[in-house]
Amino acid sequence: MTLDPKTLDQLAEHLHACQREARDTLKITDQHPDMDWDDAYAIQDRILAAKLKGGARVAGYKAGLTSHAKMRQMGVTDPVFGFLVDEFTVADGGEVRVSELIHPKVEPEICFVTRAELKGPGCHIGAVLAACDVVLPGIEVIDSRYRDFKFDVKSVIADNTSAARFVVGGRAVDARRVDLTTCGLVLEKNGVPVALGAGAAVLGHPAAAVAMLVNHLGRRGQSLPAGSLVLSGGATEAVSVQPGDHVSLRVQGMGSVSLRFV
Ligand code: OOG
Ligand code: MG
């Protein structure tokens, strides 16, 4: 850690206010070039604490920057982890109000629901699949609080990895009965395919992203509780959206999920 607790508090308050008020900011490492990964997660922790204090409930966890397509698009080469709270949830087929966001983008994701606690270090794909109940398709709406979506890895971690909204739906299937590497996925905007890929785009196997999250939590003395929802990360580049757009994601064997931007 290089930042003092007061600075961490201020940065968390600032980023949280930017999220709530849908206004952008310059990336925080411009002012604090020496901040480290622990500082970044400490800021994210403070944002979560403020949300919990305000009555929020944790709705799940997310891994991000887990595919080459995403890493290339954002110029960041390390996966990052964040939290999801109830205020981010959208019902399948539901609406997202663009006026509540800065510059939203959508990402196709494979989502896991666990039925047993997972603990790192040493968590691997096998442990994740053994502890998973179902997998299902999900669309994440990311909305970096940083101007023009420009950030580095520490800034984006502090900003809770751009988390803003998400929807899960389609058909939940037994995680061990689908081949999560070869399953194809198609993201459509207004009926036109705009991104396509396969599960293996996410770290070779999307369960590897969950294992990395668990090992990350383990390093911080935490575990992934039973019954957790985990977004494994965008399998393709994220796609910008505007009011009026209808977005749907179809994942092979798992049906489809959708949302509308108004
Ligand atoms: C960071 C969040 C990335 C994913 O699935 O890769 C993410 C960003 O690109 O703004 O959620
Ligand atoms: Mg994502």
- Segment 110-144, tens digit of pLDDT: 999 999 999 999 999 999 999 999 999 999 999 99
Q: Say what the pLDDT of residue 254 is.
A: 97
Q: What is the rounded distance in angstroms from the CA atom of residue 203 to the CA atom of residue 66?
A: 6
Q: Say what the pLDDT of residue 106 is.
A: 98
| Closest ligand to the CA of 70 | 1
Q: Say what the pLDDT of residue 167 is.
A: 98
Q: Report CA-CA distances (Å) from 57 to 89, 128, 156, 208, 221.
A: 11, 24, 22, 26, 20
Q: Whose Cα sits closest to atom 3 in ligand 1?
A: 64
Q: How far is the CA of 72 from the centre of ligand 1 (A)?
A: 11
Q: Say what the pLDDT of residue 72 is.
A: 94
Digit-coded pLDDT (tens) for 223-241: 999 999 999 999 999 999 9
Q: What is the rounded distance in angstroms from the CA atom of residue 232 to the CA atom of residue 67?
A: 10
Q: From the CB of 101, is ligand 1 less than 6 Å away?
A: no
Q: What is the rounded distance in angstroms from the CA atom of residue 197 to the CA atom of residue 211?
A: 21
Atom number, ligand 1, closest to the C-alpha of residue 232: 5
SS3 assignment, position 251? strand
Digit-coded pLDDT (tens) for 156-209: 999 999 999 999 999 999 998 999 999 999 999 999 999 999 999 999 999 999
Q: From the CB of 74, is ligand 1 less than 6 Å away?
A: yes
Pocket test of ligand 1: the residue of 74, 78, 83, 187 to mutate, having most ligand atoms within 8 Å of its CB, is: 74
Signed CA dihedral, 226, 216, 76, 252: sign only: negative
Q: Say what the pLDDT of residue 240 is.
A: 98
Band (152; pLDDT cuts 50, 70, 90):
very high
**What percent of the chain is modeled with pLDDT above 90?**
100
Q: Whose Cα sits closest to atom 10 in ligand 1?
A: 162
Digit-coded pLDDT (tens) for 51-67: 999 999 999 999 999 99
Q: Say what the pLDDT of residue 192 is.
A: 98
Question: In the predicted model, what is the mean pLDDT of residues 14-28?
Answer: 98
Q: Whose Cα sits closest to atom 7 in ligand 1?
A: 64
Atom number, ligand 1, closest to the C-alpha of residue 70: 6
